[in-house]
Structure 1
Amino acid sequence: MITAAAQDMATNLSSSSSVRLVLVSTGPNAHLAAGLLARHLGEAPEAALARLAHAPSVLAEAVEPHLAQNLAGLLRSFGLRVRLDALHGPETPVNLSIQISIPVRMQRTIRIVAEQTGLSETETTQTLQRPGGVVLTGLSRAEAARIRAKLDRVGTLIVIESDPASTVYDVFLPDRDPSEALTDRLRMMGAEPDPITNAIAAGLDGALCDHLLRRLPDAGILVLDRAFQRYDLYLSRATGWVTQDLADFLVARTGLPRSRFEVLSERLPLRIELGLAPAAARQFRADYASIGLHTFLVLSGLAQTLDNPNL
């Protein structure tokens, strides 16, 4: 399911007059590949490096298919993950994630999502509480637009769209420690963890995720499109005392009583931010660290807390 769009694209490359070269995930050797990319595309190395440093990104538009395939092979030899998209072919599908943004009028919200997705209300309730929410894959753009138009009017939902041809995935293991087989497989794949998000493998493409799921179907892993990820931020401790100004800030930010911040404990962390997109989550964590507050991230839907249940 993850790579159906990629397979469709691959079959149309030979019949396409031009191809888009997409960087799916970068790597530590990106700077070594910049000169090679620049020479083949006739551009400055600095421009090539800027695109190779961030993913996903379009490395080149409208490239001749044979050149694009050669470039893709060379870039992969540097440890970069790239994808070729046919510019003239069948319409590529899209994926949607439906998530709760404001937890009010829940019965009405669940009923509407169930009507639009074809799920039962029980299944909708359960799925909305999980990381990524309700995920619909392989939709036509017209169908995705129709669903978005219906759900955007609800007011309590967020609907996120993702292009499966350039999606970046992270892999999580919520409920257990990794098995030896899983650890060995990730090492063989060259996958790197992300200690900030607790992903056991970060920045994978769909083909690698499919490979992992086929090899270890019972490993208990959660594969999640990065665009669909949302994080809750938990406060675990502070450097030094929580001053009056800092306590005022936390009270205003969270709505919790001041007494909750008098004693901070890593065993009883406080949820202080909810539903942050990945980039925002990292920025919030850095901002809190700059004022002496130690925090950590948890995928929204993985943890529950009695503190501030209205967040």
Structure 2
Amino acid sequence: MTDPRPFVHESVLLDRVLELFAPVPSGTIVDATLGGAGHAAALLEARSDLRILGLDQDPFALAAAQARLAEFGDRATAVHARFDQLATVVAAAGAASQPIVGVLFDLGVSSPQFDRPERGFSYRNDAPLDMRMDTTRPRTAADLVNGLDERELASLLRRYSDERFATRIARSIVHARPVTTTAQLSALVVESIPAPARRKGGHPAKRTFQALRIALNEELDVIPPALDAAIDVVVPGGRVLAITFHSGEDRLVKERFRRAEDGGCTCPPGLPCVCGAVAEARLLKRGGWAPTAEETARNPRAASARLRAVEKLPARPVEDQR
């Protein structure tokens, strides 16, 4: 799929990503959210002994990434896939002959997806109510808005954006159906929220659009299995990095990385482990990394980013697991 407009997305925490992958052995890094290939290209430029296996579910992003990575020849491969298919893609690529030494997740929606009105991600422009990251999938945000009942809509808004006025918004949507455009939905949300609440916290429709986007693209549902698969496929000494942009994503990454660190230990804190849990990885920093003030000034969308990382541990001998 081609598009005459460039897919321009500034890679967040790029220097930190390069620093964290610098110690990994030679092999392949899986860029599970390839986007415009900013991180991927920088890694290939920094290390001539690395290859990139990139995944992206957005056909427009994939085409842009393939064009950007063309100069690296067979050192870069781009696949149309969502990152919860990571294990399958790695197996098909033949990881046995090229060890997986790292996996990178840059979660959330990209700038080009937001900035192109026809994608329907933004409440700032009038466009069809789409919001699909993978435009080959049939279901759109309009299907959710017009297909869920009032209770289901309200639950969705509360679950994915903590919307205080979820019930009022859901009721307005149901009464106004069919709702087919971003402008129509945005107006309904604004009208549903009391005037005092509309004066603070940014645009009143921000949370509703976020919730619909997350639900439609199953953004949070696919994170835990994808992280587990990433930790599973990397070799000892390999690293898994995840960049998040809101608390829901960060909470899931923190939980999965913590589980990899303690092996899912169920023993009381402060006591020796007797439950047989086996650690798979070590945290590279508790709390993770945030962008520098300089990066945030240059790219305001980076302000909410958080990077967490783990390193795969060597497998313990069988006798040590008894």
TM-score (norm 1): 0.24
The answer to which structure has the higher helix fraction is 2
TM-score (norm 2): 0.24
The answer to which structure has the higher strand fraction is 1
